[in-house]
Amino acid sequence: MRIGNLAGRAVLVGGGLAVDVERASGGRFGSDPQAVYAEWEAFRAWAEGADLPGGTAFEASELGAPVPAPRQVFAIGLNYRDHAAESGFDVPEGLPPVFTKFATSITGPVTEVALPPGGNTDWEVELVAVVGRHARNVAETDAWGHIAGLTVGQDISERVSQMAGPAPQFSLGKSFPGFAPTGPWVVTLDEFGDPADLELGSAINGEEVQKGRTRELIFSIPLLVARLSAVLPLLPGDLIFTGTPAGVGLGRTPQRWLAKGDELVSHVEGIGELRQRFV
């Protein structure tokens, strides 16, 4: 099942068509895409059993963020060995670095992003997990049961403000407007052959800059749910940006940053792609 946000309304997507959730459910479920996750089990049961009407065609540019207003956004740093190495850091143990992307930075899959003046703006394609059930002290073996689905995310990062000051400002440097594109939809786990091994990558103006597989995550999604939920509760509709593989601009010689006019395309196997134009 694929759940999206078409012009601000929750939709089920299939075969390039979108079915409006509120209308198809006779009002049982509302139009707010975020509300789906507050009653995820009931929603999934309805959607799997419903005799859905034919959908309407749409353009990717009409899609909003599939999870537009999470109460918590977790973002994980240094979660691939090759990216930790290119960043000049040791591989984390126990807990990886955790920061947030403030909710105002979240957008849909096809956007224009304003480059902050004086900044060094970088790219980080990431698999994003969507929490579907309240999670507190969850065992790693039970953790997938707390995930509603997966989507694609870009952890766009402005490195000057990220590294400014006596302690790094990860959360602010990664939260400029438009710095958290997500989508194009949330895909439920049953749609993947193996949700723990998906190819992900990014390209700038058609040139591949990142390519990895999520089986290379140091902290897998179940391990992240276990370690994070040991500290605090994860809430339905929360997002977890799981980290980026190697190939970011910071780790290159010479370093490379996004420039005006660049188009960044980010993909995860079995989900889809994001498309950002920088202005």
Q: Which residues bind Zn ion (CB under 5 A)?
A: 124, 155, 244
- Cα distance between residue 161 and residue 164, in whole Å: 5
**Minimum CB separation from Zn ion for residue 170, in Å?**
9
**Minimum CB separation from Zn ion for residue 110, in Å?**
20
244 or 276, CB closer to Zn ion? 244
* Residue from 269, 231, 223, 215 nearest 81 by CA: 215
Taking CB atoms, the residue at the shortest distance from Zn ion is 155
115 or 248, CB closer to Zn ion? 248
Amino acid letter, residue 119: G
What is the maximal distance between C-alpha atoms in the chain?
Answer: 58
10 or 156, CB closer to Zn ion? 156
Task: Render the burial of 189-201: b for 16+ CB within 10 Å, e for the rest.
Answer: beebeebeebebb
155 or 158, CB closer to Zn ion? 155
**Minimum CB separation from Zn ion for residue 153, in Å?**
8
**Minimum CB separation from Zn ion for residue 155, in Å?**
3
124 or 273, CB closer to Zn ion? 124
**Minimum CB separation from Zn ion for residue 276, in Å?**
15
